[in-house]
Structure 1
C-alpha cells in the first residue's frame, strides 16, 4: 500500500476535525453572533456505509472549505475532499466543466451557497442517485439550484454530477 493511499483518509479526518474545531471554538468562547448561532438545538449522525450520507458529508465539508476563502488552507482542503470523495473519472469531468465554464464544477457556480441539503432519489445497476439542493440566498423567495449525484455502491465514490433543470 502506498503512503498516499494511507494518508488520504488521514487528511480527510484531519480536515473534518479542524472544521469541527473551527465551528465549536467561537461557541465555547462565548463570541458567537446571532448570525453564527444555530436557530435551534440540533444533532447530527452519520453512517460511512451509506452513499447518500457520504454525498451529504462531502457537500457539507466542501462548502465549508470554499466558503472560508480567508483561510489559506481552504483551496488545499477543497482539493483533498475532491480527491477523496470523487472517482478519477468524476474528477476529470469536473475539471473539464470548470475549464469550459470558468466556475466551480462541484457547485456549478462561481459563488458559494448559504444552505444545502441532500436527498436519496433512487438506485439501480450498482449506483445510487442523490439530489443536492443548493440555496443561494435567504428570504421569502431564495434562489435554489439542484444537482443529481451518482455514487458507486461498491466504492461509495461519487461517479457523476449533473445540474438539473
Structure 2
C-alpha cells in the first residue's frame, strides 16, 4: 500500500474536522451574524413618586408572586405586596370581594395573566386613576380584561380597584 492511499482518508477526516470547527467557532466566540443575534436587553426605569408607576410596580410584582405559586414564599410575598401597596380600606374591600367570588380580588380572576400594562387615565380630588390591562392568553385574539385602580396622591397607596366598564 502506498503512502498516498493511506494519507487520503486522514486528509479527508482532517479537512472535515477543520470545516466543522470553522462553522462553530464564530458561534462559540459570539460573532454570529446580525440576523442570528438575540434582541438587545430590555431596560426599565421608574419613579417611586409617580402613582401610575407604583400601580405598575405593584401589578408586576404581584403577578410574578402569584404566577410562581409553587414557590413556598409566593403566598407570603403576595400578602406583603398587598399590605404595602394597598390602603387598609382597599385591602378590606378586596378581601370581601374574594370571599364572595372565590377568586383573586386584585386580578378579579381565578388564574394569572400572561401580560399586563398600566396607563394613567386621570386625576382629581387628591386621587389618580390608572387603567390596568391584563392579557390572559397569547395568540392573534388574546382575551383581555381591564381594571380601574385609584391611588391617593399623598400616600401613593391604592385606595380602590374595580373592573373597568
TM-score (norm 2): 0.76
Q: Distance in 2 between matches of 1:133 and 1:93?
A: 20
Give every structure 1 segment of 4 or more consecutive aligned residues whose post-TM-superposition deviation is greater than 3 Å.
Answer: none
Shift of 1:93: 0.2
Q: Distance in 2 between matches of 1:65 and 1:76?
A: 9
Matched residue, 2:76: 76
Q: Distance in 2 between matches of 1:114 and 1:107?
A: 12
Q: Distance in 2 between matches of 1:143 and 1:43?
A: 27
TM-score (norm 1): 0.76
Aligned pairs for 1:68-107 within 5 A: 68-107=68-107
Q: Distance in 1 between matches of 2:162 and 2:118?
A: 14
Matched residue, 1:151: 151
Matched residue, 1:12: none
Q: Distance in 2 between matches of 1:65 and 1:72?
A: 10
Q: Distance in 2 between matches of 1:137 and 1:91?
A: 28
SS at match of 2:96: helix
Shift of 1:39: 6.2
Greater Rg over alpha carbons, structure: 2
Deviations 1:85-129 (A, max 9, x none): 000000000000000000000000000000000000000000000
Aligned pairs for 1:53-132 within 5 A: 53-132=53-132
Paired residues, what number? 128
Shift of 1:42: 1.1
Structure 2 gap segments, 5+ residues each: 1-37
Query: How well do the aligned residues superpose, as a CA RMSD in angstroms?
Result: 1.1
Matched residue, 2:5: none
Matched residue, 2:48: 48
Q: Distance in 2 between matches of 1:43 and 1:114?
A: 19
More displaced 10-residue stretch of structure 1: 38-47 or 134-143: 38-47
